Structure 1
């Protein structure tokens, strides 16, 4: 699990492509402190497993499903990437729950200055993602924990403070750039549970529906 608070900006040193699978070698410093093979590191918001490492770099495998659903395949030599180690049990939870399981990608439509902030307007490449994006809700963009400031008609916006812009690879993005999107996990689970309830009402033998009757039976009123 991650928090969406980027620890450092690394860079892609080498990408070995094998069809829709890749082996990436990434330059880094901070995230290599106490690293071990098998550790999880989020790369542009994608949870990847360290398969080898050296003094200033580490290697990860990218499987076809990740290749298809993220922007990792678009990276070129030297591309900056946001890096975050998995949350330690004794660490501060400063962002929101980020799994590193990217839901899809979005394209940056515009980048506009708003006094001391920069507003990014984005369009989800898969319109289905917008059902999980709500104003004042949480979202991870290239692994960065952000708050949605508006969401309508297939577009959504996020406002970035100077610190976040300066400490992440988002400062290199512009209109037309692709970013990874991970929607808030809460909305996805709620949708699933509500769907399970509807199936039960239709006669399917699944889990119990979470409805007024269910809550009443379990002591909620």
Structure 2
């Protein structure tokens, strides 16, 4: 489990195409400290497994399903990525419960700068809109954020200077894709209510 609190901006150093999959090599001095084979690291909000680890770099295999559901397929050598290690038992839950299982992708629609923050508008796939509510939580490229406005096919988020400086969201431009993970609690509630309705 993750919390959506990005630990560092990493970098893609190599991409190897494997037919129906890809193998990424990524640099991240913070998240590779103490890393071992089989560990999980979230890359732009996608939970990936460490295959190899050497120095401040690690490799991870990305299957076809992940490439299809996320924006990882658009990454290339030199791309910056948000990196986060899983939360340890007993740690503070600084963001919200994030599984690293991307539900779909959106794209940056517009950025409205202010003196101390930016409002960013993000497109929202129709099948995810019901899970997004004003003042609720959403994960964008692995960053835990609060929804400011929830529209039928978009939502807005407010980014503070720290988020702008330390995550990929400070550099994304209109048209750029982003990974989205909605609040898992909303999905469980929908499933439970649907099951109750089917038994009456």
Q: TM-score range by the shorter chain?
A: over 0.9
Question: How far apart are the structure 1 equivalents of 2:39 and 2:121?
Answer: 34
Question: How far apart are the structure 2 equivalents of 1:142 and 1:92?
Answer: 21
What does residue 109 of structure 1 align with? 109
What does residue 159 of structure 2 align with? 160
Shift of 1:115: 2.9
What does residue 66 of structure 1 align with? 66
Matches within 5 A, 1:46-195: 46-124=46-124, 126-195=125-194
What does residue 207 of structure 1 align with? none
Question: How far apart are the structure 1 equivalents of 2:147 and 2:60?
Answer: 31
- TM-score, structure 1 normalization: 0.88
Question: How far apart are the structure 2 equivalents of 1:6 and 1:146?
Answer: 11
What does residue 8 of structure 1 align with? 8
Shift of 1:19: 2.9
Unaligned ranges ≥5, structure 1: 202-221
Moved over 4 A (4+): none
Aligned length: 200
1:71–1:105 CA contact under 8 A, matched in 2: yes
Q: Secondary structure at 1:77's aligned position in 2?
A: coil
Question: How far apart are the structure 1 equivalents of 2:159 and 2:38?
Answer: 33
2:111–2:121 CA contact under 8 A, matched in 1: yes
1:20–1:67 CA contact under 8 A, matched in 2: no
Q: Secondary structure at 1:30's aligned position in 2?
A: coil
CA RMSD across the alignment: 0.9
Question: How far apart are the structure 2 equivalents of 1:140 and 1:19?
Answer: 29
